[in-house]
A = this chain, B = another copy of it.
């Protein structure tokens, strides 16, 4: 049984991997990610799953439709295949591969599902290309409209419709199947992205919900100048405003038990001997409550403005995306966490956004399973899960799906 998971995992390992860093570059609608989606379609077809796709590249492979006694209470499980820039192997693909392996396992056990079970792949979950996380599931649920999404551009200025066209996809079409039609439960298995399970000494956990989080673009502008001849006193250097704000983000997040990160920066003109005219920096902020998130971001904007007065620079803050608190269906989480061999799985919150949060927000009862990550490191080439834990994840997912579909 282990062979199915390991064979699939081995097949994906080289796709989009950087020889230099060992990390993955699986940006949506480009080389490696297209290869992964083609692999997924083939894996579904080999299993006799009926594949549905939409004009964005979201995919579902359906099992058990022919004998289902409750065909309108569809059970969906899956995750995504894209990665952040230079990311890990597990974030996303672990949920997709485990879902296929779980179906293999149920079949071998002779399970006949009363509800059709689908394995889903949602596109651009990371937002690493178009800046809006969970873009595929957002468009599918209507959380984001196509009118807004079609204006998105990647770093190279390519508009989303053009990226889709280059990938041979038409974008959302009137004739697209509704991949979520009749779906009444969603289960997402994911590698844990922190160390809670390590601290608890457990391989598997169940998510209670997702912290509110958002991406905020800080546009800091000043005056380009010669780095040699312009006296320090005569400058309006937005780099100093940025540096102060980045340090404030760390301080304030520590104080609040929250997360605040400036991981992306763009400088204009970005020349060694020129004082910059503009620094654009993206804040990723996450807190336990929506009130705390708003307070954290407002505090950082205030700190930026205070420093800007000293620097003679200007500050503009744009919220690019803000996601409210997600509370997964508590009854479903309790049921999934209990009643199986090996004792209850622990139930814990996460700070990471997931397609599960979008589907939950659209009113679909949703649950997440986490697989232990020994270092807690994620979004990095060092992201890891031990094979026995991955196989325990497949077991846990198969058990969960079996209980939910029979």
Q: Give the B-binding residues of A (Cβ under 8 A).
A: 23, 84-87, 91, 126-128, 131, 133, 192-195, 211, 213, 215, 223-234, 237, 239-240, 242-244, 246-247, 250, 253-254, 259-265, 267-277, 282, 284, 286, 350-353, 376-382
Contacts and interface: CB of A to CB of B under 8 A. Distances in A.
Given A126-B273, A379-B225, A259 B232 contact: yes
B86 A234 contact: no
Among A84, A226, A242, A264, which residue has the most Cβ atoms of chain B within 10 A? A226
Number of copies: 2
A250 B259 CA distance: 28
Contacts of A211: 228
Contacts of A350: 228-229
Contacts of A232: 250, 253-254, 259-260
Q: Which of A85, A228, A230, A353 has the most CB of B within 10 A?
A: A228
Contact of A228 (B128, B225, B286): B286
Given A271-B264, A272-B127, A376-B234, A259 B85 contact: no
A272 B230 CA distance: 32
A223 to B, nearest CB: 7
Contacts of A268: 86
Given A227-B284, A239-B262, 16 more contacts: A85-B269, A128-B271, A193-B226, A211-B228, A224-B382, A225-B378, A228-B284, A228-B286, A231-B259, A234-B376, A243-B246, A261-B273, A263-B267, A263-B276, A272-B284, A274-B379
A273 B286 CA distance: 11
Contacts of A378: 225-226, 229-230
A231 B193 CA distance: 10
Contacts of A237: 250, 261
A254 B195 CA distance: 44
A293 to B, nearest CB: 12
A338 to B, nearest CB: 25
26 contacts: A84-B269, A85-B274, A86-B224, A86-B268, A87-B274, A126-B271, A193-B226, A193-B229, A194-B226, A194-B231, A215-B273, A224-B379, A225-B377, A227-B259, A227-B286, A227-B379, A228-B351, A229-B259, A229-B376, A229-B378, A230-B259, A230-B378, A263-B271, A265-B267, A274-B380, A277-B380
Nearest to A126: B273
Contacts of A128: 271
